Amino acid sequence: MCGPATACHGGQHNGSRAPLGRRRKRGTQKQAIGRSRGGPTTKIHALCDPLGRLYALMLTGGQVHDIWGARGLLARVATPTRFLGDKAYDADDIRDYLTKDGSEAVIPSKANRKEPRPHDPTAYKMRNIIERSFNRLKDWRGIATRYDKKAANFLAGLCLASAVTYWMQ
């Protein structure tokens, strides 16, 4: 209603603001799309067996640290006998979780750790297996560029690509 207290100009609303009701938010909050310097990105966290077959996948936004992905994956699967990770996975709680379940943590210490923890450098050389698995996934154009808007569709494509690359080995 237009009146002396409100100004109506050709059907325009008086001021722009969010609706007052409690409606659901739309956008990329639940679709594993995060912000980084390069723009909107998604991180793929994965676990693989010694042959390079991916058996656990999880998506997070691009700004999420690798430790959160490792915590989420390790909580969902049986503890591996040996966990190989780079320096980004060097956290006391992950190491304690792995040793409590009888797993060996092969993770080099970060440079800023006050008391460096030892790791097996010979076993650490096997970490290239997961890197090669990711390279095989990135051969799929839809995975490398993430055309899917929904996280569930993208994760389904990841599962399909990992199954086909396992079958082609």
Q: What is the mean pLDDT of residues 36-43?
A: 82
Instruction: Give the Cα separation of 97 and 82 in Å (integer).
Output: 12
pLDDT at 131 over 90: yes
> What's the mean per-residue pLDDT of the chain?
84
Q: Each residue of 29-45: b (16+ CB within 10 Å) or e?
A: eebbbbeeeeeebbbbb
Q: Where are the domains of the chain?
A: 34-168
Question: pLDDT band for position 53 (50/70/90)?
Answer: very high
Q: Please tell me the predicted confidence (pLDDT) of residue 4.
A: 58
pLDDT at 25 over 60: no
Question: pLDDT band for position 63 (50/70/90)?
Answer: confident
Q: What is the mean pLDDT of residues 123-148?
A: 91
pLDDT: is 19 or 58 the higher one?
58
List C-alpha distances in Å: 99 to 30, 83, 102.
Answer: 33, 10, 5
Question: pLDDT band for position 23 (50/70/90)?
Answer: low
Question: pLDDT band for position 22 (50/70/90)?
Answer: low
CATH of domain 34-168: 3.30.420
SS3 140: coil
pLDDT at 17 over 70: no
Q: Please tell me the predicted confidence (pLDDT) of residue 164.
A: 93
Q: CB–CB of 32/60 below 8 Å? A: yes
